Amino acid sequence: MQQLKYHRILLKLSGESLTGPSGTGIDAAQAIEIARRLKEVRELGVDIAIVIGAGNLWRGKVGLEMGMDHATADYMGMLGTVMNALALMDALEHQGVVTRVMTSIEMKTVAEPYIRRRAIRHLEKGRVVIFGGGTGNPYFSTDTAAALRAMEIGADVVIKATKVDGIYDCDPNKNTNAVKFDELSYIDFINLRLGVMDSTAVTMCMEHKLLIHVLNLWDESALKKALLGEKVGTIVH
């Protein structure tokens, strides 16, 4: 059996991870592709919990620009994360992966309420757990929700899935001279204002010595390589 570097992970997915060519909404084929990759790593024996964003459906920033109340805009985003969680759950279960969606905002007809000990029990039974609804509070990002849930379930790492193969000193899509970091300290990450993850989430990880591993979700083998301890992406510690 292959030696695992991480045995329990919190995977932070953006809402855009479920989009197709249009860049918005939920694309069934893309959801199935994500589910296929998750099934592959689940079969390695890794406990998988997921926090997913809602940028493909709604951005609170848009609501603020329209003059919307900040809390209302954020609650709309939280509801969007539940829609994405249900879509990903459906794709995973079509792959034969038993999955549970838990939400910080109670909606008993579609998902279980988030209870820490129950979430841990699901993971112990080999189920993938998707956390919807963010933290349940406005003014906090899904990055912060990922850090919070990771600590609560005893995850070894927060894996932040992005569209680039790690953290750079500037946007590599705009600057061909961008320099990639293989490793970063929490303090350097915060001070450099790199924008890959919000500072509240990184500060929480720093205070509790929780690793952050940033990698490219669109590289089909990146997640598996990270779990097996191969050099991929950027580690913040």
pLDDT digits (tens, 9 = 90+) for 159-171: 999 888 889 888 8
pLDDT of residue 30: 93
pTM of the model: 0.94
Lowest-confidence range among 126-140, 145-159, 176-190? Answer: 176-190
Q: Which domains are assigned to the chain? A: 8-236 (3.40.1160.10)
* Closest to 162 (Cα-Cα) out of 195, 190, 132: 195
Q: Mean of the pLDDT values across residues 211-234?
A: 91
Does 37 or 2 have the greater pLDDT score?
A: 37
Closest CA to 108 of 133, 134, 141, 77: 133
% of the chain residues with pLDDT over 70: 99
Q: Provide DSSP, 139-180.
A: T--HHHHHHHHHHHHT-SEEEEEESSSSEESS-TTT-TT--E
Confidence band for 187, pLDDT divided at 50, 70 and 90: very high
- For 82, residues 6+ apart whose C-beta sits below 8 A from its C-beta are 101, 103, 105, 107, 110, 111, 132, 133
More confident residue, 51 or 193: 51
CA 205 to chain centre: 14
